[in-house]
Structure 1
């Protein structure tokens, strides 16, 4: 599965997660709704207390100043108490805690005080017309009540007391106020129900919106597939560590982790297995890191770790090795055994930069170096890497302004057939003599060209020059030419390469295109289609640096390969552990024989190394022992010398 495929699956998971969240938000717990109702009614009840305090304060003055009776002074005391309690509730009681129960108690106490004031006034001076106060009180209780039980208790008490007083006034008074009480009660309860329903709807809508927003914010910060923080959250964490003036933030190491061999797993086993593998990778990385470290998935098969403390180089290497070792252990996903590895690049703030972008770029550069030179290992950004980045920047700018047709040229290194004891072809090696920079290392200018998008143009120029040289060679000699990962996955570039080959006049069968394992895994299916186009023309395909990748054995049979070029590290390894290296060389030779393809050993520099590859049954070799890279002008002389003197051996200088 490609990165975009995994992204689509993540988006589907996010969508499903959002649907589940909406359903959960709609079914709110009773306790949560009580608190939300308290928040909605708090301003209503607190707003009701101030008018009550003012009203009963004025009534108190009226009873004490405007009336001489002891009964009215008793009413004044009750009014005064009601006013004081209203102020206390507003200023103290509901300020400390405005929870649902406290609001309900406030509601009930105020209703009872209003009821007592009304009852006391009628007991001291019964006038039938004053019975309407109970109807007004019922309306007030219904509209200000926070709970159904407070509303029903207060309303029933008020209406029942009114009817009791009305009964004292005789049948006519009772009948009149019974009808008034009934109408008032229905009106009050109707208003209460409508108001509570509106408030409940508003509260529920707000709570659902708040919960969905919270979950959306969580989804915005976390990867739905692995559950780890995502790219957005990770960079936010880095920003928080590096905020403020330069060198004033918290020291932090940043590690970028990229999986080696993940895309072939996706392509071979499907998207579901790939997703499960990513989840398990995230879990292993998280378990390998101490508490307090931030592990995130940046996207695709790229992860990251932020370490908010300064570690020694040994400590950082140890952590990196722990992560790599954890990823190197075989995975079992849905009963399928899967093997991958991971490469890690580290950078440190503030040692390697002063901004998030600078630190990330340097960690990413260290990762690129790990994948290039130490695949499956750990690289910590250093001063040498800083110099290399600066060089790449200068090379990038110089490439854009250079006359590449004039400055690029090709050298050719012989490929030797041990059985026939003669040169059977040459590999074209790109070189750049810059007017501004002088001789530039191929590793640097090719990497810069791939990064800047100039590689397709560079490939065209170098292929034309290589073919122009090859047409002058004897027809028995072959030409090997390297394709970059960008060329391999670009239909435009492949079409251009095919056109150049057709126009060159050289027989396609004399041409071998060399590709690396890494370039094939960039986009498995696109690479296979591209190689099919070239093989269909009659060109041969060679897998270069075989063994330096991680999962070739799983998919090598799916490509139209004609040759395996064994990575030079196995030949060089003879100096360190001869027995192990010999076994590996023999195993690769046997694999090539079983697949029915040629095997060529690179990096043969000494007679001992030559004997080792011969003993393994390898027929073709390339290296300084049989010739250094040479210009086109020297090839004729070399071939003539071979014709006259037999096998020519050149020691490495």
Structure 2
């Protein structure tokens, strides 16, 4: 099993910290070793050759007694130089080891000169010490080696020159002084050039590493980014023994944080979210930020479904705990979808798509939920693909239609209006579930056209109804954030001949987590035109009371779950409905309860203070002709009375 460790994805350090590490003294010394090593090893090659030749020369030109001294020292020098180059400097060494090698070689050269002059002293040959100073200045790794070699050479040279007389001493004193300054100058120039080159290389390497890390890591959170995550998945899936769970995490309610408090607070929130996700995961799990408020997990440890659900639940619970960012209390949640390699796919892209579909199902069911991809989801994805392809090629004007479900006014005992519901009867697929084909239209970018066709057909039926009957029509969140789509909707209403006051546009709470500001601008434009706005499925989604008062709302529709709860616990369900009814009364908006199917549910809703209802009790969705017949059967006089 291929495992991931925390070392694979450390946090990206700040640039200034990276630079200081790269240019630290220890790192520079390491780079100086790299720069000086070929110089010292190169210097040892002629030294080995020279002293090997000198050893042979001593054998032929020196007496046996002198050969034992001079030849022994020169041979020892050649052997040690060979060992330094091919043994000592061939392995990984540090700065001090390289410094010791250069100092050792310079001392061996010094010993050869001193031993030769001790036997064959000639004043002119004292210049060998000046040459030694130059050798020290070029081969010495550090100024300590240069200074030590230079001082020892000059002192020895002057001591020997003094033995030859005052004139010789004075002559070599000036020669030594000139040699010392020349050696210092050469050492400074050479080491300065090498140090600048080393610094430039270290800086370039640091910048390259930073660029590579920034290409693979998210600059805000320090987590691996999308590129890094997918590259790692490809690597994991290249191993036949690998079995990888991929999780996609998406935050619920993050967009309003940016809208209310600004992107700086949003960024700080994302950093804290990344910390909580990592703390909830074992160290060998890869946590990445894919972009925006989307995160990902890669798990190579074998897990049961129960253990995976436990992990997902732990992450969701960690994200549900309140955050405090810049002294601002913030509440969000997160939804997670999981998929498994190789069970759900054989490529990184396939696994990601299936984890993303599981995430979509988690958000569609209940925000803050955990969903593991199964065969049922595979069938759904296949259906979605067929629906999208068929939708692209469909004759939408002919195949799309609307049905109408009555909305009832309990107080006046009459129908107050109808909600238009979308239907698609495809010659290829048959009658397609509205939730599936509307979602497909949103994914394919066809929702604007679908909305326009359905609205025109709904208005064509509603224009024939009495003035007291209203029409409710659902708008997609994508319609609300598109200025072009809203402009088209307003044009269709104006050209329909129906009074805008009879038109109610229903929106869901998902607009709160998409693009609130644009959605609000669109709703204000519709309200200024005279249309009414209803918030649908209240309580099933984000349910932010802080946002309700910022919408130009005229009606709130409770989710059906509150009505079904009446059968489970009548007291709790009734209290919830009463609370929503009181909220609506305080806001000055109407309240409508959906999903009323029995007389008992109707009485409970009425006792909670809710005036408007919708459900099978008062009528199932019906065609335009049936709706007209129902209106006629109830009596136009009753309808007009209800309008008053």
SS of alignment partner, residue 611 of structure 1: helix
Aligned to 1:292: 284
* Separation of aligned partners in 1, 2:396 and 2:628: 26
1:497-508 equivalences under 5 Å are 497-508=489-500
Task: Tell me how large the CA RMSD over aligned residues is.
Answer: 1.9
Q: State the Cα deviation string for residues 522-563 of structure 1 (Å, max 9, x = none).
A: 001111111111111111111111111124212111111111
Q: Are the aligned partners of 1:324 and 1:376 in contact in 2 as well (CA < 8 Å)?
A: yes
Q: Are the aligned partners of 2:577 and 2:608 in contact in 1 as well (CA < 8 Å)?
A: yes
1:269-288 equivalences under 5 Å are 269-288=261-280
Aligned to 2:103: 108
Aligned to 1:49: 44
* Separation of aligned partners in 2, 1:323 and 1:158: 72
> Residue 517 of structure 1: which of 482, 493, 509 is its match?
509
Q: What TM-score do you get using the length of structure 2 for normalisation?
A: 0.94
Aligned to 2:540: 548
> Residue 565 of structure 2: which of 561, 573, 596 is its match?
573
2:285 maps to 1:316: no
| Structure 1 residue 103: Cα displacement | 1.2
2:377 maps to 1:385: yes
Aligned to 1:334: 326
Aligned to 1:10: none
Give the gaps of 5 or more residues in structure 1: 1-12, 648-653
SS of alignment partner, residue 279 of structure 1: helix
Across the two proteins, how many residue pairs are aligned to each other? 629
Aligned to 2:186: 191
2:26 maps to 1:34: no
| Structure 1 residue 189: Cα displacement | 1.2
2:622 maps to 1:625: no
Aligned to 1:87: 82
1:45-444 equivalences under 5 Å are 45-68=40-63, 70-244=65-239, 248-444=240-436
Larger deviation, residues 119-128 vs 626-635: 119-128
**CA 1:568/1:343 → structure 2, altered by over 3 Å: closer, same or farther?**
same
Q: Are the aligned partners of 2:246 and 2:338 in contact in 1 as well (CA < 8 Å)?
A: yes
* Separation of aligned partners in 2, 1:217 and 1:110: 42
> Residue 17 of structure 1: which of 9, 14, 19 is its match?
14
Q: Are the aligned partners of 1:89 and 1:106 in contact in 2 as well (CA < 8 Å)?
A: yes
Q: Are the aligned partners of 2:278 and 2:287 in contact in 1 as well (CA < 8 Å)?
A: yes
Aligned to 1:9: none
SS of alignment partner, residue 329 of structure 2: strand
| Structure 1 residue 249: Cα displacement | 4.4
Q: State the Cα deviation string for residues 106-127 of structure 1 (Å, max 9, x = none).
A: 1111111101111111111112
SS of alignment partner, residue 600 of structure 1: strand
* Separation of aligned partners in 1, 2:543 and 2:605: 23
| Structure 1 residue 412: Cα displacement | 0.7
Q: State the Cα deviation string for residues 159-193 of structure 1 (Å, max 9, x = none).
A: 22222222233333333322222222211110110
SS of alignment partner, residue 304 of structure 1: strand
| Structure 1 residue 129: Cα displacement | 2.0
1:419-498 equivalences under 5 Å are 419-498=411-490
Give the gaps of 5 or more residues in structure 2: 1-10, 640-644
SS of alignment partner, residue 394 of structure 2: coil
**CA 1:287/1:625 → structure 2, altered by over 3 Å: closer, same or farther?**
same
SS of alignment partner, residue 90 of structure 2: helix
Aligned to 1:8: none
SS of alignment partner, residue 98 of structure 1: coil
Q: Are the aligned partners of 2:233 and 2:348 in contact in 1 as well (CA < 8 Å)?
A: yes
| Structure 1 residue 19: Cα displacement | 4.9
Larger deviation, residues 132-141 vs 215-224: 215-224
Q: State the Cα deviation string for residues 229-257 of structure 1 (Å, max 9, x = none).
A: 3323322332222115xxx2411111111
Larger deviation, residues 103-112 vs 282-291: 282-291
Larger deviation, residues 131-140 vs 231-240: 231-240
Q: Are the aligned partners of 2:406 and 2:619 in contact in 1 as well (CA < 8 Å)?
A: yes
| Structure 1 residue 259: Cα displacement | 1.3
Q: Are the aligned partners of 2:504 and 2:533 in contact in 1 as well (CA < 8 Å)?
A: yes
| Structure 1 residue 25: Cα displacement | 4.7
Q: Are the aligned partners of 1:25 and 1:207 in contact in 2 as well (CA < 8 Å)?
A: no
Q: State the Cα deviation string for residues 316-351 of structure 1 (Å, max 9, x = none).
A: 222222222222222233332222221111111111
> Residue 599 of structure 2: which of 600, 604, 607 is its match?
607
Q: What TM-score do you get using the length of structure 1 for normalisation?
A: 0.93
SS of alignment partner, residue 246 of structure 2: strand
Q: Are the aligned partners of 1:488 and 1:520 in contact in 2 as well (CA < 8 Å)?
A: no
* Separation of aligned partners in 2, 1:17 and 1:73: 64
2:615 maps to 1:637: no
